[in-house]
């Protein structure tokens, strides 16, 4: 059975992952409003990934006979001054999430919770990818600069992103994907 300290920390993490989904969905709405449908698509895929992250914590708590407790979500920011500003905010947010995963791993070590540690290893790797994905888009947008044509090309490229659902049962504790 999961200990209360770990359960509380993972319930907080569900909130962080759902807030991430909400943030990226808000960015998608802002991109759609500005006619940047490719970037909106990129953010909608990101939103789906965050939901998968939240469900991994949900499954882990549940499978270890714990109690999932959902918390309130704040309304996200509605508008960003430019695509670069939005992706820079996303990058900063992912760095915050990486810090939360590191904190969870620290708690797991302190509580000698090896099941949580194994499950969290997936997230340690995932956060490397999460930061790298956003960072690549920032590099692209910096190259594009103020070029309208470049921005349209970048929008087309980012719109090719598709959501790949995890294999059935992958949300279970420690299941590598």
CA–CA separation, 55 and 134 (whole Å): 22
Q: Are 130 and 97 in contact (CB under 8 A)?
A: yes
**How many CB atoms lie under 10 A from the CB of residue 5?**
13
Q: Are 18 and 74 in contact (CB under 8 A)?
A: no
Nearer to ligand FEO, 143 or 164 (CB): 164
* Nearest partner of 155 among 5, 24, 35, judged by Cα: 35
Nearer to ligand FEO, 103 or 143 (CB): 103
Q: Are 39 and 144 in contact (CB under 8 A)?
A: no
User: What x/- string results for residues 104 through 143 when contact with ligand FEO is judged by CB under 6 A?
Assistant: --------------------------x-------------
CB of 45 to ligand FEO, least distance (A): 11
Q: Are 12 and 101 in contact (CB under 8 A)?
A: no
User: What x/- string results for residues 42 through 71 when contact with ligand FEO is judged by CB under 6 A?
Assistant: --------x--x------------------
Residue 15 binding ligand FEO, by CB under 6 A: no
- Residue of 28, 97, 116, 119 interacting with ligand FEO (CB under 6 A): 97
**By the criterion CB under 6 A, which residues form the site for ligand FEO?**
17, 20, 50, 53, 94, 97, 130
């Amino acid at each position: 059975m999961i200990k209360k300290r770990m359960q509380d920390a993972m319930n907080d993490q569900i909130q962080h992952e759902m807030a991430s989904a909400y943030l990226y969905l808000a960015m998608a709405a802002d991109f759609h409003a500005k006619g940047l449908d490719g970037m909106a698509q990129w953010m909608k895929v990101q939103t789906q990934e965050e939901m998968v992250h939240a469900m991994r914590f949900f499954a882990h708590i549940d499978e270890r006979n714990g109690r999932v407790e959902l918390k309130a979500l704040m309304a996200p920011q509605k508008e960003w001054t430019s695509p670069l500003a939005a992706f820079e905010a996303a990058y900063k947010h992912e760095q915050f999430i990486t810090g939360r995963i590191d904190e969870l791993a620290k708690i797991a070590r302190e509580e000698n919770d090896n099941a949580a540690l194994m499950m969290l290893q997936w997230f340690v790797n995932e956060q490397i990818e999460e930061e790298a994905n956003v960072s690549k888009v920032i590099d692209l947008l910096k190259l594009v600069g103020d070029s309208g044509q470049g921005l349209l090309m970048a929008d087309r490229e980012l719109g090719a992103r598709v959501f790949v659902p995890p294999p059935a049962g992958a949300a279970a504790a420690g299941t590598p994907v």
